[in-house]
Chains A and B, each alone.
Chain A
Amino acid sequence: MATVDDQLIKAVLRGETECFEALITKYQPRVFAMARRYARRESEVEDIVQEVFLKAFQKLATFRGEAPFEHWLMRLGTRTCYDFLRKHQKNREMPLTDITEEEESWLERYAASPESGAEGADAARTLVTRLMANLKPEAQMVITMMEIEEKSVKEVAKLTGWFESKVKVRAFRARNEMRKILERIAKDKFL
């Protein structure tokens, strides 16, 4: 039995372009949430989401219907986010020497009492953003999907198109890289 998405897709491929709007409306919240993991500015998030849907429209004829449309769209979205990270790598780096007072306070509090880590969550989030911004694009992708979104190796492989072995190697290296960056930030003062 054809789903609503299948019917909309068939209509678009028949030339009823306006039916694509219903697909955008349905899936844009999910695509926005994904893009916000990788882009800091809202203008960049909007650019990513727009590109995802434009690509989806252009490549709609290649959708074979073997998996739900949402999975196909999220795969396209993941690769668009990865392209964005690669394109903007230089602009996204946050200097490790510029940590804010709030971040320093969080690290001090954590060094004194690790169980206090839950306080000052905003500072912790900024620290994570700073660490991630200094990772290579593939490391950012794999840390975001596996450590933060808690996806399995298989799911990450399907979304990115990488082999599972490659995902595992990248996950291992990404975590090491993050650890080294964190040690560089905190070495002199807290570790």
Chain B
Amino acid sequence: MDSDPLLNQLLNVARQTPMGDGVPYAFEKRIMAHIRESGVADPLFFWVSSLWRSVPVFAVVCLIAFVVTSAQPPASDVTLQASFEDAVMQSGDFFSDTW
């Protein structure tokens, strides 16, 4: 016996069974009470949650800034190198002056 007609018959019965849309008394009040208890009724909640959502954006911006600045040679190294050269040259000038 082919099980398809049997399956179709069963699904047909399920289709003809509407699910009740009855609601327990004052159910919406219970939900509102939960909302107030959990602190999400605070108007600041939406601002704070918006800030949290922007954290990844800031993280990406910081990462890009870090990568860009890391790729460039630090200005202090150039300054240090120049200072070192100046110091060496000046010491040479000093010795030449003392002759």
Residues of A within 8 A of B (CB): 13-15, 17-18, 20-21, 24-25, 28-30, 32-34, 36-37, 46, 49-50, 53-54, 57-58, 61, 107, 110-111, 114, 117-118, 121, 124-125, 127-128, 131, 143, 147-148, 150, 175, 178-179, 182-183, 186, 190-191
B13 at the interface (CB under 8 A from A): yes
Determine whether the beta carbon of A190 is less than 8 Å from that of B32: no
Q: Beyond A54-B38, A57-B40, A124-B9, list 20 extra A-B contacts (CB 8 Å).
A: A20-B35, A21-B28, A24-B27, A24-B28, A29-B23, A32-B20, A33-B20, A36-B20, A58-B40, A125-B17, A128-B13, A143-B11, A147-B11, A178-B7, A179-B4, A182-B3, A182-B6, A182-B7, A186-B3, A191-B3
How far does the alpha carbon of A46 sit from the alpha carbon of B22 in the complex, in Å?
A: 11
A102, B69: Cα distance in complex, Å: 77
Q: Smallest CB–CB gap between B32 and chain A, Å? A: 5
Point out the residues of chain B lying under 8 angstroms from A17, CB to CB. 32, 35-36, 41
A30 CA / B19 CA spacing, docked (Å): 10
Q: State how many residues of chain B have any CB contact under 8 Å with chain A.
A: 38
Query: Which residues on the B side are within 8 Å of A34 (C-beta)?
Result: 19
CB pair A61–B49 under 8 Å, yes or no, is yes
Chain A nearest CB, measured from B79 CB (Å): 49
When chains A and B are docked, how far (Å) is the Cα of A125 from the Cα of B18?
Answer: 11
B residues with a Cβ closer than 8 A to A are: 1, 3-7, 9-24, 27-32, 34-36, 38, 40-41, 43, 46, 49-50
Contacts of B14 in A (CB 8 A): 124-125, 128, 147-148
- Per the bound structure, the CA–CA distance linking A20 and B32 in Å amounts to 8
Say whether B23 contacts A131, CB under 8 Å: no
Of A29, A30, A54, A110, which is within 8 A of B35 by CB?
A54
| Chain A residues, CB < 8 A from B23 | 28-29, 32
Closest Cβ neighbor of A132 among chain B residues: B14
Instruction: Say which residue of A37, A110, A121 sits within 8 Å of B6 (CB atoms).
Output: A110
Decide if B10 touches A127 in the complex (CB within 8 Å). Answer: yes
| A26 and chain B: residue at smallest CB distance | B28
- Closest chain-B Cβ to A24's Cβ sits at a distance in Å of 4
Shortest distance from the beta carbon of B68 to any chain A beta carbon, whole Å: 32
**9 pairs of A and B residues whose beta carbons are closest in the complex:** A15-B43, A29-B21, A124-B13, A24-B28, A36-B19, A33-B21, A117-B9, A17-B41, A33-B19
Contact present for A179 and B15 (CB under 8 Å): no
Shortest distance between the CB of B4 and any CB in chain A (Å): 7
A33 surroundings in chain B (CB, below 8 A)? 18-21
- Contact partner of B13 among A20, A25, A121, A150, CB < 8 A? A121
Docked Cα-Cα span, A2 to B32, in Å, equals 25
* Residues of A close to B38: CB separation below 8 A: 54
